[in-house]
Structure 1
């Protein structure tokens, strides 16, 4: 038995609400269970309850045992002085307020039927990859689709937090925020945080001024990444290095030490040299990129905007001083899909939120055009009959697994709540 199960029982009144009595025998009538805020303090706020002949308005605290009140030191916390009812599974200790009045107790186990308890135990045990893996495909499609929408926007809310942090750091320059987000995206998992630091160390007004010469952009980006720190015979390397130190002097910039970029375990097309050159060329060919990205509303227009390759030097190089067979290295559609998922849509969502606008339907429609991500989590859901047809599906499933299944929040999940409503065979 877990406390979140008791929260579920109280929130949805999943117990016999007639003939309720406190442990001391006073009749209880629930007018309003209160608001479940999941914040510090009592579990349910502003409840309305009649105990005996007295109507009370206040808070409700829930524990497995009454004595947990003292285990959690609520007797020292002023926030719990307004608790009007202590709901517990088992009453094992009397609880008193600071004025020495006893807090009424409802012992819930007397009023919950065996089927509800059995369903709960079936849901949480045994666990393999997720608790409900043998039952999840039986959930009503309408319920599951609505839950997917909520999961998707929860994920966007989470992704928008670092965007607003960057906005504060860049003096509310959305173009600078976009550059940082794109840089992180271009770095993928291995170099993402390093690329982000590179972007944060280049003032965006400098990038904007130098964007008309791609060599200057590459010099700034490669130099900040530490890729120009050594000595090489390559003429292009020497030219970039000269430009970099000239630009440092011109714009009075300081050279900061950043963690070295990683080449190890990357396919050559994902080498940091290639990705950084593509990023430089994107900002060379596209001016006012934020305004263009913020109005993207189709997958094809996104592909058109990101038709970008490397500089000419990198057509036959992956690293300085090492020539390779000539090959054009453009951004693939699958890579642009990742940009759309991880940068464009979160940025559009954050900007709309900052403007008090609503883009929900547009964002869902756009993400439904994108192919689903391919990873172990999505594959595992597929094996349970939950198939991702688009990136909207895969993004919502990632949120479900990471924020609910992994944290055992079955009773805050629509799937878990639906399964508790019926007796299913595991």
Structure 2
């Protein structure tokens, strides 16, 4: 058992309150449980209790054993002088405040419904990847849908927070932020470390000065990434090398130039090669120089597809790598990859700007986009599919990912609406 279970028991008052009394025999009546405190100090604040004949307003501290009070050094912390009730599973010794006065103690052992405790232990010790899998079918669809919607919003808040960290690191520049997030999106996980370095090695401010020349943009991106050095030669490669040599000296880029070996090409489809991705990025920067606006203002999926599927230069329509002609022709990013960028670039930017501006319209727009994108299933959504829940769109997929990572994987059932419903259904309060 962990303390969070006792927090849950206290918050929902899932224990026998008949003849409730402290370890000293004083009657206890809970008038208000208090508010959970996630910061330093007692666990629940602003509780209202009647102990004996006296009504007390103050804090409630919760431990597995009463002796944990001393193990946590609360007797020396004045924040705990306001504790009016010490709630424990096992009262193994009396406790005192900093001034030496005794703290009334309530022992829950023997007061909690054994079926509730058993269900909790089943969830915590479950061998299933989704801990509540055996109980899932019995939970009503409204509860599941409500929890998934909550998990989606929380996932968007997390993604938005991550983008705001990038925004802070970018000197509060939304254009540089959009560039950083977009470049990370083009990395598609496999080349994330290299992408992170390229963002630092080639700021957007330099690229924007050459936004009118697709040739210059390709030379800067491919050159700074390390792809032009020792590349198989053809006329276009030689032209790119000349342009990069001039521009890199002009902006003193050489010290930060990357090496080709830093990029991963193994087990990748040619369309996903980093050289091809950088060519696609160059085409997009050329067509849409106002990057942040371009990534946050479109209102339809078709507009976002047009944004991400800008045709590449003629050279890259017949090449996946420098100096090597391809038998197939690819003029732009695939539709599936464009939808991937909507999910991993546009949506997090919208979520971040919603938090930054305080305008909920941007978050609503992010959710609306996800609801209109059909995303391929993944191993996580398939787990829920096996339980009878099917994702309808990218919003559902993102919700499932959020639910799994924040609740199922860490076995955080006590804070999940589905877990709460299971506990309540299988073991109601005594």
Q: TM-score, normalised by structure 1?
A: 0.93
Distance 1:255 1:326 in 2: 36
Residue 253 of structure 1 and its aligned partner are, at CA, apart by 4.1
Q: 1:310 to 1:4 in 2, by over 3 A?
A: same
Q: 1:53 to 1:258 in 2, by over 3 A?
A: farther
Aligned to 1:423: 426
Question: In the alignment, which of 314, 317, 330 is matched to residue 315 of structure 1?
Answer: 317
Aligned to 2:65: 65
Residue 268 of structure 1 and its aligned partner are, at CA, apart by 0.9
Question: In the alignment, which of 242, 264, 270 is matched to residue 266 of structure 2?
Answer: 264
Q: 1:79 to 1:220 in 2, by over 3 A?
A: farther
Aligned to 1:391: 394
Residue 254 of structure 1 and its aligned partner are, at CA, apart by 5.2
Question: In the alignment, which of 340, 343, 346 is matched to residue 341 of structure 1?
Answer: 343
Tell me the matched-pair count. 424
Contact 2:42-2:80 within 8 A present in 1 as well: yes
Query: What is the DSSP-based 3-state SS (H/G/I as helix, E as strand, rest coil) of the residue aligned with 1:263?
Result: coil
Distance 1:64 1:264 in 2: 52
Q: Please give the per-residue CA displacement for 1:242-261, whole angstroms capped at 9, x wherever unaligned.
A: 21221123334453154711
Aligned to 1:230: 230
Q: Is 1:112–2:115 an aligned residue pair?
A: no
Q: Which moved more, 1:29-38 or 1:175-184?
A: 29-38
1:25-424 correspondence runs (5 A): 25-230=25-230, 232-253=232-253, 255-258=255-258, 260-359=262-361, 360-423=363-426
Residue 192 of structure 1 and its aligned partner are, at CA, apart by 2.4
Query: What is the DSSP-based 3-state SS (H/G/I as helix, E as strand, rest coil) of the residue aligned with 1:21?
Result: coil
Q: Which moved more, 1:60-69 or 1:296-305?
A: 296-305
Q: 1:40 to 1:264 in 2, by over 3 A?
A: farther
Contact 1:372-1:393 within 8 A present in 2 as well: no
Q: For structure 2, list consecutive stretches of 5 or more residues without a partner in the other structure.
A: none
Instruction: Say which structure, 1 or 2, has more relative contact order (CA 8 Å, 6+ apart).
Output: 2
Aligned to 2:5: 5
Distance 2:382 2:138 in 1: 18
Distance 1:175 1:195 in 2: 17
Query: What is the DSSP-based 3-state SS (H/G/I as helix, E as strand, rest coil) of the residue aligned with 1:57?
Result: strand
Structure 1 stretches of 4+ moved >4 Å: none
Q: Please give the per-residue CA displacement for 1:10-45, whole angstroms capped at 9, x wherever unaligned.
A: 111112234321111111122221111333332212
Q: Please give the per-residue CA displacement for 1:58-86, whole angstroms capped at 9, x wherever unaligned.
A: 22221111122233333344433322211
Contact 1:269-1:329 within 8 A present in 2 as well: no
Q: Which moved more, 1:351-360 or 1:414-423?
A: 351-360
Q: For structure 1, list consecutive stretches of 5 or more residues without a partner in the other structure.
A: none
Q: Please give the per-residue CA displacement for 1:121-150, whole angstroms capped at 9, x wherever unaligned.
A: 343343221211122233222222221121
Contact 2:170-2:176 within 8 A present in 1 as well: yes
Q: TM-score, normalised by structure 2?
A: 0.93
Q: 1:78 to 1:313 in 2, by over 3 A?
A: farther
Contact 1:224-1:255 within 8 A present in 2 as well: no
Distance 1:240 1:42 in 2: 64
Contact 1:232-1:238 within 8 A present in 2 as well: no
Q: 1:255 to 1:238 in 2, by over 3 A?
A: farther
Residue 180 of structure 1 and its aligned partner are, at CA, apart by 0.7
Contact 2:119-2:423 within 8 A present in 1 as well: yes
Contact 1:184-1:193 within 8 A present in 2 as well: no
Distance 1:393 1:326 in 2: 35
Q: Which moved more, 1:149-158 or 1:365-374?
A: 365-374
Residue 421 of structure 1 and its aligned partner are, at CA, apart by 0.9
Distance 2:149 2:221 in 1: 38
> Root-mean-square deviation (CA), in Å?
2.0
